[in-house]
Amino acid sequence: SGRMRIRLLSHPATLAPVHKAFEAFAEKAGFDSSDRGEIILVVNEALANVMRHAYSGATDKPIEVSAEETADAIRIEIRDWGNGRSPEPRHKHDPEKPGGLGMVCLKQFMTQVTYQPEPDGMTLTLIRNNREKP
Protein backbone atom coordinates (compact mmCIF):
# COMPACT_ATOMS: atom_id res chain seq x y z
CA SER A 1 0.00 0.00 0.00
CA GLY A 2 0.98 3.65 -0.03
CA ARG A 3 1.78 3.77 3.68
CA MET A 4 4.70 2.76 5.85
CA ARG A 5 5.37 2.96 9.59
CA ILE A 6 8.68 2.21 11.32
CA ARG A 7 9.32 2.21 15.05
CA LEU A 8 12.95 2.43 16.06
CA LEU A 9 15.25 3.35 18.90
CA SER A 10 17.44 6.43 18.90
CA HIS A 11 20.59 4.45 18.07
CA PRO A 12 22.66 5.34 14.98
CA ALA A 13 22.66 1.66 13.94
CA THR A 14 18.93 1.96 13.20
CA LEU A 15 19.52 4.46 10.38
CA ALA A 16 20.62 1.93 7.73
CA PRO A 17 17.37 -0.11 7.77
CA VAL A 18 15.32 3.11 7.66
CA HIS A 19 17.43 4.27 4.69
CA LYS A 20 16.63 1.01 2.81
CA ALA A 21 12.93 1.20 3.65
CA PHE A 22 12.67 4.80 2.39
CA GLU A 23 14.60 3.99 -0.77
CA ALA A 24 12.06 1.29 -1.63
CA PHE A 25 9.04 3.36 -0.56
CA ALA A 26 10.05 6.46 -2.55
CA GLU A 27 10.88 4.35 -5.61
CA LYS A 28 7.45 2.68 -5.45
CA ALA A 29 5.90 6.17 -5.11
CA GLY A 30 7.49 7.12 -8.45
CA PHE A 31 10.36 9.36 -7.32
CA ASP A 32 13.45 9.28 -9.54
CA SER A 33 16.90 8.38 -8.24
CA SER A 34 17.94 11.97 -7.55
CA ASP A 35 14.73 12.78 -5.67
CA ARG A 36 14.99 9.55 -3.65
CA GLY A 37 18.53 10.49 -2.63
CA GLU A 38 17.34 13.87 -1.38
CA ILE A 39 14.41 12.35 0.54
CA ILE A 40 16.69 9.78 2.18
CA LEU A 41 19.25 12.46 3.06
CA VAL A 42 16.53 14.56 4.73
CA VAL A 43 15.07 11.63 6.69
CA ASN A 44 18.56 10.60 7.80
CA GLU A 45 19.41 14.16 8.87
CA ALA A 46 16.11 14.59 10.71
CA LEU A 47 16.58 11.31 12.59
CA ALA A 48 20.18 12.18 13.46
CA ASN A 49 18.97 15.53 14.81
CA VAL A 50 16.33 13.82 16.96
CA MET A 51 19.01 11.51 18.34
CA ARG A 52 21.49 14.33 18.93
CA HIS A 53 19.23 17.14 20.13
CA ALA A 54 15.83 15.83 21.32
CA TYR A 55 17.40 12.86 23.11
CA SER A 56 20.84 14.33 23.90
CA GLY A 57 22.58 11.27 22.46
CA ALA A 58 20.62 8.63 24.42
CA THR A 59 20.49 5.45 22.30
CA ASP A 60 17.40 3.76 23.79
CA LYS A 61 14.60 6.28 23.16
CA PRO A 62 11.62 5.70 20.83
CA ILE A 63 11.17 7.31 17.43
CA GLU A 64 8.30 6.62 15.07
CA VAL A 65 8.57 7.35 11.35
CA SER A 66 5.59 7.11 9.04
CA ALA A 67 5.22 7.84 5.36
CA GLU A 68 2.24 8.15 3.12
CA GLU A 69 2.07 8.40 -0.64
CA THR A 70 -0.47 10.86 -1.99
CA ALA A 71 -1.41 11.56 -5.62
CA ASP A 72 1.63 13.76 -6.25
CA ALA A 73 3.73 13.78 -3.09
CA ILE A 74 5.16 11.85 -0.20
CA ARG A 75 4.28 12.89 3.37
CA ILE A 76 6.67 11.85 6.15
CA GLU A 77 6.13 12.23 9.88
CA ILE A 78 8.84 11.76 12.47
CA ARG A 79 7.58 11.62 16.06
CA ASP A 80 9.85 11.77 19.08
CA TRP A 81 9.25 11.87 22.81
CA GLY A 82 12.25 14.09 23.52
CA ASN A 83 12.70 17.49 25.11
CA GLY A 84 10.17 19.21 22.82
CA ARG A 85 12.41 22.19 22.09
CA SER A 86 12.04 23.91 18.74
CA PRO A 87 14.63 22.67 16.25
CA GLU A 88 14.82 26.05 14.55
CA PRO A 89 18.38 27.36 14.90
CA ARG A 90 18.78 30.26 17.28
CA HIS A 91 21.60 31.75 15.18
CA LYS A 92 22.26 32.17 11.48
CA HIS A 93 24.38 29.34 10.07
CA ASP A 94 28.10 30.07 10.23
CA PRO A 95 29.91 28.27 7.37
CA GLU A 96 33.14 28.45 9.38
CA LYS A 97 31.70 26.19 12.11
CA PRO A 98 30.73 22.52 11.73
CA GLY A 99 27.10 21.45 12.03
CA GLY A 100 23.99 23.55 11.78
CA LEU A 101 23.01 22.44 8.29
CA GLY A 102 20.16 20.11 9.26
CA MET A 103 17.38 22.66 8.93
CA VAL A 104 18.97 24.18 5.82
CA CYS A 105 19.00 20.72 4.22
CA LEU A 106 15.39 19.96 5.22
CA LYS A 107 14.06 23.24 3.88
CA GLN A 108 16.07 23.04 0.65
CA PHE A 109 14.99 19.52 -0.34
CA MET A 110 11.42 19.36 0.97
CA THR A 111 8.37 21.20 -0.33
CA GLN A 112 7.07 21.78 3.19
CA VAL A 113 8.62 21.38 6.68
CA THR A 114 6.53 21.83 9.83
CA TYR A 115 7.09 21.10 13.49
CA GLN A 116 4.23 20.40 15.86
CA PRO A 117 5.13 20.52 19.55
CA GLU A 118 3.45 17.69 21.48
CA PRO A 119 2.84 17.56 25.26
CA ASP A 120 5.61 14.94 25.40
CA GLY A 121 7.88 15.65 22.42
CA MET A 122 7.67 16.80 18.81
CA THR A 123 6.23 15.74 15.44
CA LEU A 124 8.10 16.78 12.30
CA THR A 125 6.09 16.67 9.06
CA LEU A 126 7.94 16.68 5.75
CA ILE A 127 6.19 16.90 2.39
CA ARG A 128 7.96 16.40 -0.91
CA ASN A 129 6.13 16.93 -4.19
CA ASN A 130 6.96 14.53 -6.98
CA ARG A 131 8.20 16.45 -10.02
CA GLU A 132 7.78 13.35 -12.16
CA LYS A 133 4.00 13.20 -11.70
CA PRO A 134 1.78 15.69 -13.56
The reported pLDDT for the residue numbered 36 is 95
pLDDT higher than 70, residue 64: yes
In the chain, beta strands by DSSP E: 3-9, 62-69, 73-80, 112-118, 121-129
pLDDT digits (tens, 9 = 90+) for 17-42: 999 999 999 999 999 999 999 999 99
The reported pLDDT for the residue numbered 102 is 67
pLDDT digits (tens, 9 = 90+) for 79-114: 999 998 876 655 565 556 555 556 777 888 999 999
Residue type, 127: I
Q: What is the mean pLDDT of the chain?
A: 88
The reported pLDDT for the residue numbered 97 is 57
The reported pLDDT for the residue numbered 91 is 56
Question: What is the pTM assigned to this prediction?
Answer: 0.88
What are the percentages of helix, strand and coil residues in the chain, rounded to 5?
35, 30, 35
For residue 79, what are the CA distances in angstroms to 12, 21, 101, 111, 134? 16, 17, 20, 19, 30
Q: What phi and psi, each to the nearest 5 degrees, are found at residue 111?
A: -70, -40
What is the crossing angle of helices 102-109 and 33-49, to 10°?
Answer: 150
